[in-house]
A and B are shown apart, each in its own frame.
Chain A
Amino acid sequence: MNSDVVVVGTGLTESIVAAALSKAGFTVIHIDSNPYYGGDQASLNVEELAQWADQQQQTSSSSQNPKFTSISRSSSFPPNSRQFSLSLSPALIPSTGPLIDSLVSSGVSRYGGFKLLETVALYDGPDRVQAVPGSKEDVFKSKTLSLLEKRRLMRFLTFATGKFEEAKELVGQEMTPFVSFLESVFSLNETIAQTIAYALAYCTSQSDATFPALQRLRRYLLSTGRYGPSPFLVGHYGGLGELAQGFCRTAAVGGSTYILNQHISEILHEELSDASADSENAKTWTIKLQDFPEVLSCDALISSGGLLPPSLNNMVPVSHPSEQHRIVRGFVIIDKPIHLSSQDETETMVPQDIPSAKTNTGYNAIDTALILFPPGKVEGGSQTSVASVLVTGEGTLSAPRGYYILHLSLPLSPSETQQDSSQRLTPYLKAALSLVNDDSANIEPVFTLFYTEDSTELPGGTEQSTVTARDFVAVPDTTCSYLPEVADAHTKTAEEIFWQAVEILKHRGGKEGHEEIDSFWPPLDLQPGYDDEDS
């Protein structure tokens, strides 16, 4: 079976690459050793997730450098466990940015469904959870801020949505911790500074630097209003894993071949002489699968190093992620809703209209919300990092009616001591469950899974490899601790890989006929597989 390119793994990055290459006119074979789509971003039901966890546990005990460690899960399952979709990589999708652009430009938006994030709330201690404003209008309407505070906040928001790169306020402060910057340069009080840093700019620790935080904040502030009051969307059916399937379907509609549940048994690479490289049939890569009759051959191979046999380690380029990430994750399913006090009940820093039904008690049951836990606010929690709990319910089609998934994430710096993941997250889970406004004393989750995820280095260890295949494109690890950055990070990486692959493929035999490729996605009406009748 011949193709221009073989893509290994169906994670979001690889799936976007496959769709883009396919739309650009290349033939693609897309393989995965898993029986499911989505790789480390897969959306799984509870049974599949439990299986995944058990498998990772085996891997982690036998592997030298496992990506997932400290795995523990409950043995109980919720009823209708197949009706849940949990993504291994929970994410908020900003309303403007690379992923949304790609979804619209590729037509994949026709497959995926989205819900606007309803509420972002900041945990300030037991019974003190505050909804966070999203816009200048919210600030303006606030009754709890003094006039001076409003003026300072407005001045900052004008700065943050403008061209702050050239502003004098920023000079020399680029790497200052963002909270300190807000306090010292804009004279904002601690509560407001923390709210901005953690709940608007999504800093994951108190030492996060000012410049990148400002860049994120501006993007989110300018995203507000495109689809509604929140800048963020949450994907239906578990989000990123579902979108990966959408990109794969688009690739398949464009002619790509899909082979799941097949392990690679052997990969051979042969540099071609210039003469034979011109021939259509001469391919540099030959790939054998363990349980598949045909041999795959292609001109370019795209894969993350970790998915290839160890024998190839000296051939693929070694790259170290610029930042190591470690995230402690938890997936908890509960059968009672979390309530946030409405603005009339407690003093919120800045009020926000929460578009969900109010109960008689003045509390709002939340369906799709993010609760952030600043450093030091939870007893037994981290003193430096921000934990987050993304709540998704029936509204995102990720859980059946009456059930809610809590996605807990706690990013840690790799230097922090390894500790049991369930112990790390238990204080946050308790704090979140205290928001279930229920008379019964204890809320028992119907399912729990905890683990620690590390970003992986590509193989090759620390030694620089000497042999590098020119027709191999490595997919770097895109583990990302910023919930609103994950999706776009994958998309940006995918675009880089796409261009590298195009560069390789355009020099290969028989490809002279290709028209010049000048964009990541061709205009929709020219794309194969776009049925215009419907729009």
Chain B
Amino acid sequence: MSKQFQFKLVLLGESAVGKSSLVLRFVKDQFDDYRESTIGAAFLTQTVTLDDGTTVKFEIWDTAGQERYKSLAPMYYRNANCAVVVYDITQSASLEKAKSWIRELQRQADPSIVIALCGNKLDLAARRQVTEEEAKKFAEEEGLMWSETSAKSGEGVTEIFTAIAKKLPLTAPPSARTGGARAGPARTGVDLNKQANTTDGQNEPCNC
């Protein structure tokens, strides 16, 4: 049987760089020019199948706007296997923000986390403020993956997630191997939605 993995992926980056759009393109192959600033989902999932048949299921967490006033909870980083830190290639300030998010990840997240730096809005390359060389140099210095994408045209989106999917199983802890059973990276222990194997009628969960 081919290997199966499940990983938690967190998105980071300044507001309006296209974090949610990137996920929407990857998960649903859609783009919306006037997207509201929050994605409105607890997390989205998407599975990538690699050439050798290995499947990697991403559980993708959006910041839900909590990054805007520097109010992202530590819970967000917990058990994250990988992070996509997004900047807008037409805004050089957004790369500076991305750098500070990377420092935050290095401080808060698991040391083995795989970080990809992603320059979005490649469709607006005519208004580019961040050169490829500059971002690439920074990524190399910090040991990050790097690429440019356009959530609008779809260019590079699948590629960056696939590249992460290829890199992760090599570094992943054995616990991420799901072997067919549904087990999230973040969820060990008691699953509140499942009862223990007792059929005691008095222990009905709730009357909702």
Q: Is the CB of A103 within 8 A of B192?
A: yes
Q: Is the CB of A253 within 8 A of B64?
A: yes
Q: For the complex, give the distance between the alpha carbons of A530 and B40 in Å.
A: 8
Minimum distance in angstroms from B63 CB to a CB of chain A: 8
Q: Is the CB of B44 within 8 A of A533?
A: yes
The answer, yes or no, to whether B75 is at the interface (CB within 8 Å) is: yes
Interface size on B, residues (CB 8 A): 39
Minimum distance in angstroms from A46 CB to a CB of chain B: 14
Q: A104-B206, A113-B187, A227-B195 are in contact. Are A258 and B40 (CB under 8 A)?
A: no
The answer, yes or no, to whether A233 is at the interface (CB within 8 Å) is: yes
Q: Is the CB of A257 within 8 A of B76?
A: no
Which of A226, A245, A248, A521 has the most chain B CB atoms inside 10 A of its CB? A226
Q: For the complex, give the distance between the alpha carbons of A110 and B200 in Å.
A: 25
The answer, yes or no, to whether B186 is at the interface (CB within 8 Å) is: yes
Q: Is the CB of A223 within 8 A of B203?
A: yes
- Residues 131-155 of chain B, each 1 if its beta carbon lies under 8 Å from chain A, else 0: 0000000000000000000000000
Q: Is the CB of B195 within 8 A of A242?
A: no
Minimum distance in angstroms from B126 CB to a CB of chain A: 32
Q: For the complex, give the distance between the alpha carbons of A262 and B69 in Å.
A: 10
Q: Is the CB of A237 within 8 A of B206?
A: no
* Chain B residues near A (Cβ < 8 Å): 38-45, 59, 62, 64-66, 68-71, 73-76, 78, 186-193, 195-196, 198, 200, 202-203, 205-206, 208
The answer, yes or no, to whether A519 is at the interface (CB within 8 Å) is: yes
* Chain A residues near B (Cβ < 8 Å): 36-37, 95-96, 100-101, 103-105, 107, 109-116, 222-228, 233, 236-237, 242, 245-246, 248-250, 252-255, 257-262, 292, 519, 521, 528-531, 533-534
Main SS of chain A's interface residues?
mixed
Q: Is the CB of B73 within 8 A of A113?
A: no
Q: A226-B195, A260-B70 are in contact. Are A110 and B42 (CB under 8 A)?
A: yes
Q: Is the CB of A533 within 8 A of B187?
A: no
Q: Which one of B39, B44, B76, B191 contacts A249 once the chains associate, using CB atoms below 8 Å? A: B76
Q: Which one of A225, A253, A259, A534 contacts B38 once the chains associate, using CB atoms below 8 Å? A: A253
Q: A37-B73, A101-B205 are in contact. Are A113 and B68 (CB under 8 A)?
A: no
Q: A222-B202, A246-B75, A252-B64 are in contact. Are A100 and B192 (CB under 8 A)?
A: yes
Q: Is the CB of B69 within 8 A of A258?
A: yes
Chain B residues closer than 8 Å to A250, beta-carbon distance: 42
Chain A residues closer than 8 Å to B195, beta-carbon distance: 226-227
Minimum distance in angstroms from B74 CB to a CB of chain A: 7
Minimum distance in angstroms from A535 CB to a CB of chain B: 8
